[in-house]
Amino acid sequence: MSNLPGKDFRLETTASASGADLDSRLAEILSAELEVHVQVVNANDDSDCEAIKAAIKTPSVAHVASTDDIATIALRLPAGGVAVWKADVAGSKRSARHGCTILQLEVARHEVHQLTAEVDSLTAQVVNDFEELSLIRSLASSMELPTSGNQLTEFVLSSLGPLAEGVGAISIAGVFTDNQEHRTLEPIWSGEKLLSRDQLNALIDQFSDEASQQTVVRNNLLTGDEFKAANLNEFVMVQCRSEGRLHGWIIACNRIDIDEDVPWAQLGFTTVQASLMDTATNQLAAQLHNMRLLKQKEDLFTEVVRALVNAVEARDPYTCGHSERVASFGRCLAKLSGQSPSDVDRTYLTGLLHDVGKIAIPDGVLQKPGRLDDNERAIIETHTDAGWRILHELEALQDVLPGVLYHHEHFDGEGYPDGLIGDNIPIDGRILAVCDAFDAMTSDRPYRKGMSTEKAAEILKGGAGKFWDPNLINLFLSNLNQFDEIRINHEPREQAVRPAPIDGVPFVGHTTDSLV
Amino acid sequence: MEIKKILIAEDNPGLARVLAFKFKSCGYTPVSCADGQLAWDAFQADQFAAVVSDQEMPNMTGVELCQHVRSVNPDIPLFLVTGRQLELANTDAVASLDLSQIFAKPFSPGNVVKAVEAAIVKCGASA
């Protein structure tokens, strides 16, 4: 063989930095193992050497070309180069086979290394995805609504805490607006208070416009001049909004330094954290909206009950305050008899509404001073059924129906409307029967003065087991002072005074902006 | 003949594998490069239907890669898949490069392939 390029061999440098690195690394290994000098030539270059030509044409085999007693051996490398070395003709075939085996081993080792790195990277990704999934799940399942508005802080904290962990933030601030969306409330921090309230407000002032369009992400604030705060290096700011109402902003401050040393690890906050913040904030916003709706529903409920009580009292002004007193006595007696708080609330509500059926009784009977004849008595006794008819279509008031319908049953079965006996009479009916009688006896009427507490107590005692549940009468009498206190301290609500028109413009109801 | 090769530049080997897998299963021939420089070399050596690149990579960033590609090919659809989408969206460099879309990580591989497909069809129709 002739025309060995010899010194003219050029190390291939242009194709790819790491590709050339790989080829020269492999050449070094071949050098060390074969104990000869191994050069790398560019496969694209024209070469006169038969061995190199053959190597370019047929990779994965080492090619030998000999002149006299020196042989040239060429072997195609994976990244485009060709390894070339010389050997004695006698040992050339062995050297070629040896070199080929070493190359195969090294290439396999290199591939294993790359695949291992890839598996590591995929594993890291799967771990992250698991963390993210579990965070989103935990946020979704810890959605129990607080029962009162005061628990807002705790509720917000219960979702900011896991969120801070999930996005790797040092601390997350929740800044909420007041009801009119005019000013911000005291910020809620998941951890360390990194910024003062004023600094947070300044941050919000500066970025709230951008936040209303998309999540705001800023990294390396110390080098930029956008926002200066000594403690803030980077942040993600998300607007918390639902159903057209702005609740506030959630701001993740400062990323915890990640200890992963993978080359593709990213510093600061990225879209990965931003989208998590987005998801969590949307859930929070939906929950805040739900809380508001729940409160509105409860308010509406209370207001409807008040309106019904007002309706009865408008018909029968002499019983003014009677419903509220009976309700208060009922609450006290229910509590004394060991009922649960929700049962006690129900008894109170039933007390407020127990006489709502009197709306249906004609004035001549309802407002008649003095004794009623049998006919009139029959009419007034329809008020329990009338109460049931008025209320039975209100789903939210189903629980009060037994008390409304059965507060005139007698323990011995001689009452109305159904003549129920003993414990068959629902508990609210039994409780309110006692309370109703006590209030009727002790309160003043236009045609008579109310009797003394002691006298009323005597009558209750005498009717135990006949009219009233003897256990409840015992409880009532042994705690008589409590009931007397409620009676004495009770102040009937004053009738509302309607605002007069101002300059001829009526002024009733709410203005629209406070209806939010 | 229709070009089916997609150039993927992504230094995270796991994500590169995920993208390549999805493109392959949708009938494309993905070519993955572990950094911007390698991707630019590969682009010069071959014909591609679209480029999908990460932003933060060794040797050459995604935006730099796109600048190089745009300087020789004004029509080819370019995509960035990056954790810096929100920050990049505000910069001029992106508008001047006429990027088809910037995807935020974590991304849906299916959506990326769909968008690339639509851009290739549009590009072919206007060419």
Chain A residues with beta carbon closer than 8 angstroms to that of B84 = 266, 270-271
Distance between CA atoms of A264 and A260, rounded to whole angstroms?
10
| Tens of pLDDT, residue by residue, chain A (516 residues) | 333 333 323 232 333 446 678 888 899 999 998 889 998 888 776 777 888 888 888 887 888 888 878 888 999 888 888 999 988 888 888 899 999 999 999 989 988 988 888 888 888 888 888 888 888 887 777 666 665 555 778 888 888 888 998 888 999 999 998 877 678 888 999 999 999 999 999 999 999 999 999 999 988 776 555 677 778 889 999 999 988 889 999 999 999 887 666 667 778 898 889 988 998 999 889 888 888 888 888 888 888 888 898 888 888 766 678 899 999 999 999 999 999 999 999 999 999 999 999 999 998 888 887 788 999 999 999 999 999 999 999 888 999 999 999 999 999 999 999 999 999 999 999 999 999 999 999 988 777 888 999 999 999 999 999 999 999 999 999 999 999 999 999 887 777 788 888 888 887 775 444 333
CB pairs below 8 Å between A and B: how many?
67
Where residue A370 falls (left for φ over 0; alpha for ψ -120 to 50; beta otherwise) is left
CA angle A133, A139, A142 (to 5 degrees): 135
Compute the nearest-CA separation of B11 from chain A (Å). 6
Distance between CA atoms of A32 and A40, rounded to whole angstroms?
14
| A194 token code pair | 């990194």
- Whether residue B36 contacts residue B63, with contact meaning beta carbons closer than 8 Å, is answered with no
Q: Which of A14, A16, A255 to mutate to test the interface with B (most CBs of B within 10 A)?
A: A16
The ipTM value here is 0.72
CA pseudo-torsion sign A393, A144, A287, A349 = positive
CA-based radius of gyration for chain B: 13
The pLDDT score that the predictor gives to residue A9 is 31
A111 Cβ contact list (under 8 Å, min separation 6): none
Q: Are strands A245-255 and A235-242 parallel, antiparallel or unpaired?
A: antiparallel
Backbone angles phi, psi at A346, to 5 degrees: -65, -40
Element (H, E) at A217: strand A216-218
Which of the residue ranges A501-505, B15-19, B56-60, B67-71 would you say has the lowest mean pLDDT?
A501-505
> Which of A314, A296, A398 has its CA nearest to residue A355?
A314
For the stretch B4-23, pLDDT in tens is 899 999 998 889 999 999 99
The pLDDT score that the predictor gives to residue A226 is 63
Interface check B80 vs A, CB under 8 A = no
| B110 token code pair | 């299916």
| B57 token code pair | 């990579």
Distance between CA atoms of A252 and A269, rounded to whole angstroms?
9
Interface check B87 vs A, CB under 8 A = yes
Do residue A17 and residue B59 have CB atoms under 8 angstroms apart? yes
CA angle A477, A482, A484 (to 5 degrees): 85
Compute the nearest-CA separation of B95 from chain A (Å). 18
Chain B residues with beta carbon closer than 8 angstroms to that of A271 = 82-86, 104-106
Q: Which amino acid is at A313?
A: E
Compute the nearest-CA separation of B125 from chain A (Å). 33
The pLDDT score that the predictor gives to residue A414 is 94
The pLDDT score that the predictor gives to residue A384 is 96
pLDDT tier, B55 (very low <50, low <70, confident <90, very high otherwise): very high
Interface check B124 vs A, CB under 8 A = no
The pLDDT score that the predictor gives to residue B14 is 87
Chain A residues with beta carbon closer than 8 angstroms to that of B83 = 266, 270-272
Do residue A271 and residue B85 have CB atoms under 8 angstroms apart? yes
Distance between CA atoms of A490 and A486, rounded to whole angstroms?
6
Q: Is the pTM of this model over 0.80?
A: no
Compute the nearest-CA separation of A131 from chain B (Å). 13
Question: What are the structural domains, with CATH classification, of chain B?
Answer: 5-126 (3.40.50.2300)
Tell me what the mean pLDDT of segment B54-69 comes to: 93
The pLDDT score that the predictor gives to residue A346 is 95
> Residue B63's CB: how many other CB atoms inside 10 A?
22
The pLDDT score that the predictor gives to residue A156 is 86
> Which of A402, A428, A438 has its CA nearest to residue A417?
A402
Question: What are the structural domains, with CATH classification, of chain A?
Answer: 6-115 (3.30.450), 142-289 (3.30.450.40), 316-489 (1.10.3210.10)
The pLDDT score that the predictor gives to residue A8 is 29
